[in-house]
Amino acid sequence: MHIPDGYLGPPTYIAGYAVCAPLWAVAARKVRRTLDARRVPLLAISAAFSFLVMMFNIPVPGGTTGHAVGAVLVAIAVGPWGAMLSLSIALVIQALLFGDGGITAIGVNCFNMAFLMPFTGHYLYRALVRFLPAPRGMGIAAGIAGYVGLNLAAFSTAVLLGIQPLLHTGADGRALYAPYPLSVTIPALMVEHLLLFGVAEGFITGLAVYYLQKSRSAWILVPAGERDAK
C-alpha cells in the first residue's frame, strides 16, 4: 500500500501532511501520558516489527504494492496512538532510506497505515472481544480486526490513487499523476488484499494474540484503559 512519489498531486499529499501533523502531536502527547514506562521499549520493538513485515512488498497493478502491516497487532499491544507513532516511524525510515513509498506521500501513507488501520482494528477488536473473552476468542477477534483494518487501509489507498485522474489532467486530457481511474485501482488493490494480504494479516494477528493470551504474556495482558487514548 506504499504510494510512491509522482502518483499524488500536491493538493492530496499536502492534505495528507496537514491531517497527520496534528495527529502525530496528539499521539506523542497521549503516549507520554498513558503508556507505562515498562512498556515504552515495545514502541521500538513494534516499529521494528512493522518495518520488517512491510518490507515484503508485492507489486500490485495501479501504482502501489501489497503487503502485511502488523498495525492492528501493534495497536492491541501498545494502544492505537502508540501504534501510530511506531508505524509512522517505520514508514518514514522506509521512505527516506529505502525508497519504499514516496517522501511526498509520507503523510498519506501514514494516514492509511499508521492511523486508519490501527484505530479501526483496535476498536473493532475491543468490540468483538467483549463477546469472545477466552484466548481462542481473542485470537479470532484479533484476526477479524486485522483483516478488516488492512482492507480498509487498502481501500483508502485505492480511492486516493483513483481520484487523481479526476483532479489533475493536462490540456490534452491525460492524467498528470496516477493514471488509473477508480475502476482500475479499487479492483487492483482490493482483490489481492481481500483474498491474500488481508488473510495473511488476519492470520498473523490472530495467531499472535492467541498465543500471547494463552501464555499469559505481559506483552499483551494490560488493562484496556492503560492503552486507550482518552
Q: What's the mean per-residue pLDDT of the chain?
A: 85
Mean local confidence (pLDDT), 102-126: 95
Across-strand partners of 64?
60
What residue segments make up the domains of the chain, in order of their start?
10-227
Give residue-wise pLDDT tens across range 4-56.
Answer: 999 999 999 999 999 999 999 999 998 888 766 666 676 777 677 777 777 77
Whether 230 shows a pLDDT value over 60: the answer reads no
pTM: 0.86
CATH topology of domain 10-227: Arp2/3 complex 21 kDa subunit ARPC3 (1.10.1760)
Residue 110's contacts (CB-CB under 8 Å, 6 or more residues apart) are 16, 20, 24, 84, 87, 88, 91, 92
Residue 222's pLDDT is 47
Q: State the virtual CA torsion across 227, 216, 47, 83 in degrees, nearest 10.
A: -20
Residue 12's pLDDT is 96
Give residue-wise pLDDT tens across range 42-101.
Answer: 677 767 777 777 777 677 665 566 777 888 988 988 889 989 998 998 899 989 988 888
Whether 214 shows a pLDDT value over 90: the answer reads no
